[in-house]
């Protein structure tokens, strides 16, 4: 179907700015620009929102806790933001995390893992796994029920959520009931049909993803490692039940759908939804795009059911 009309209006504002010169682009400077593209939005009201610190792989990490109602013993949803492993922060995904907390009836903790290129692979996935373990170990202090645990993330954050699930399987815990993946990065190859069909003009470009991978990996060979490219994992058995959303006009569409198919073949329960008329990043556009809001509600319902 054609681009969603509401989304097209939002997309026009982004594409009018053009793409940077990736040959000379500095990651720190790009963060100053990219992390402020969208103005702060008033999010859903929470009973509690507070910034905390959680244990990472090499020290404490900033995090933000969202409690939708004034009650202890709620399930726990750990969220990892997108941004190509290079950009993004707690503020860029604040509105999304508030909506997830409200719609899932869970305490959401958004983790600010270390970013590349200052902290390259495998630092971000190790941070995210360590933070998840820390949150489970401190569940009583946080007033959450860590026996009802899910992970979620968008784009690179989806990749990191998968990494946490894999590491939890390999390292005997914690037990994760569900993973919710919004248009996840699953393969460093960048050679799928959707990568070529939507190489530019749809918010995320093939060139941009190439730059992100260059910042993230110490050397290109790491792209073959399953922790970096979960689509290349030969063993996906034992991963949590999964909700996976892709966007019709997204370079990452095909690799996300291929990963869902691989999960299903490994016996994992999967709900895959291709969101027609959408582009990469659409889930953060839910305040402006009705179709995105509906997709977010449906994904949240999956998480809520899994944690009930």
Tell me the angle at which helices 123-137 and 156-170 cross, rounded to the nearest 10 degrees. Answer: 60
- Do the Cβ atoms of 278 and 7 come closer than 8 Å? yes
Measure the CA–CA gap between 117 and 170, rounded to whole angstroms.
27
pLDDT bucket at 99, cuts 50 / 70 / 90: very high
pLDDT of residue 303: 98
Return the minimum-mean-pLDDT range out of 28-37, 165-174, 181-190. Answer: 28-37
Which entry of 155, 205, 229, 284 is annotated as an active-site residue?
Answer: 155
State how far the Cα of 214 lies from the Cα of 217, in Å rounded to an integer.
Answer: 6
Residue 26 confidence (pLDDT) above 80: yes
What's the pLDDT score for residue 104?
Answer: 98
pLDDT of 119: 98
CA quadruple 100, 75, 239, 217: dihedral positive or negative? positive
Give the Cα-Cα-Cα angle 122, 127, 129 (nearest 5 degrees): 100
Choosing from 154, 250, 254, 302, the catalytic residue is 250
User: What total of structural domains would you count in the chain?
Assistant: 1
Q: What is the mean pLDDT of residues 116-124?
A: 98
219 part of the active site:
no
Question: Once rounded to an integer, what is the mean pLDDT over residues 107-123?
Answer: 98
Strand-pair category, 60-67 with 107-111: antiparallel
Average pLDDT over residues 108-118: 98
pLDDT for the residue 95: 96
Confidence at residue 182, expressed as pLDDT on a 0 to 100 scale: 98
- Residue 155 falls in the annotated catalytic set: yes
Name every residue whose Cβ is closer than 8 Å to that of residue 31 and which is 6 or more positions away in sequence: 86, 87, 115
- Confidence band of 132 (pLDDT split at 50, 70, 90): very high
As a whole number of angstroms, the distance between CA 205 and CA 183 comes to: 14
Q: What is the pLDDT of residue 234?
A: 95
Q: Which of 6-10, 146-150, 298-302 has the lowest mean pLDDT?
A: 6-10
Angstrom distances, CA of residue 249 to CA of 37, 40, 207, 212: 21, 26, 16, 19
Domain of 245: which CATH number?
3.40.50.1820
- How many other CB atoms are found less than 10 A from the CB of residue 290? 11
Higher pLDDT, 231 or 38: 231
pLDDT for 271 beyond 90: yes
Q: How far apart are CA 89 and CA 98, in angstroms?
A: 14
Using the predicted structure, report yes or no on whether residue 38 has a pLDDT greater than 90.
no
Classified as helix, coil or strand, 268 is coil
DSSP state of 124: H
State the pLDDT at residue 174.
98
In the 8-state DSSP scheme, what is residue 191? -
pLDDT at 214 > cutoff 80: yes
**Residue 52 pLDDT grade (very low, low, confident, very high; cuts 50, 70, 90):** very high
Q: What is the structure's pLDDT at 11?
A: 85
Torsion over CA of 118, 121, 123 and 127, rounded to 10 degrees?
A: 120
Given 187, 205, 280, 284, which residue is catalytic? Answer: 280
* Buried b / exposed e along 19-53 (16+ C-beta atoms within 10 A): ebeeeeeebeebbeebeeebeeeebeebeebeebe
Using alpha carbons, select from 204, 195, 249, 193 the residue that is nearest to residue 3.
249
Quote the mean pLDDT of the chain: 96
How high is the pLDDT of residue 55? 98
Please say if the pLDDT value at position 17 is more than 80. no
> Would the pLDDT of 36 be above 90?
no
Note the pLDDT tens digit of each residue in 224-240: 999 999 999 999 999 99
Alpha carbons within 13 A on the beta-carbon side of 240: 29
Is residue 127 flagged as an active site residue? no
pLDDT over threshold 80, residue 93: yes
SS (H, E, C) 200-243: CCCCCCHHHHHHHHHHHCCCHHHHHCCCCCHHHCCCCCCCCEEE
Domain carrying residue 125: 5-306
């Amino acid at each position: 179907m054609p681009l969603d009309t509401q989304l097209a209006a939002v997309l026009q504002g982004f594409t009018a700015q053009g793409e940077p010169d990736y040959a000379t682009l500095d990651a720190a400077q790009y963060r100053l620009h990219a992390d402020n593209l969208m103005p702060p939005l008033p999010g859903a009201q929470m009973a509690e929102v507070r910034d905390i610190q959680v244990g990472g792989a090499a020290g404490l990490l900033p995090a933000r806790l969202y409690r939708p109602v004034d009650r202890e013993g709620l399930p726990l949803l750990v969220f990892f933001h997108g941004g190509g492993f290079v950009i993004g922060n707690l503020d860029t995904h604040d509105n999304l995390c508030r909506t997830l907390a409200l719609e899932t009836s869970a305490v959401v903790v958004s983790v600010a893992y270390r970013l590349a290129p200052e902290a390259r692979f495998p630092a971000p996935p190790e941070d995210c796994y360590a933070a998840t373990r820390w949150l489970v170990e401190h569940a009583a202090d946080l007033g959450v029920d860590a026996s009802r645990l899910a992970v979620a993330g968008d784009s690179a954050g989806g990749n990191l959520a998968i990494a946490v699930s894999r590491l939890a399987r390999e390292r005997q815990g914690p037990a994760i009931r569900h993973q919710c993946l919004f248009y996840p990065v699953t393969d460093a190859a960048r050679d799928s049909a959707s990568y070529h069909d939507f190489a530019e003009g749809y918010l995320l470009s093939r060139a941009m993803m190439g730059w992100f991978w260059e910042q993230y990996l110490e050397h290109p060979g790491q792209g073959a490692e399953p922790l970096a490219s979960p689509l290349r994992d030969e063993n996906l058995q034992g991963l949590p039940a999964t909700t996976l959303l892709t966007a019709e006009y997204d370079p990452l569409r095909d690799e996300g759908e291929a990963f869902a198919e691989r999960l299903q073949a490994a016996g994992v329960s999967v709900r895959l939804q291709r969101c027609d008329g959408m582009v990469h990043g659409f889930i953060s556009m839910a305040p402006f795009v009705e179709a995105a809001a509906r997709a977010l509600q449906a994904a949240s319902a999956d998480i809520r059911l899994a944690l009930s």
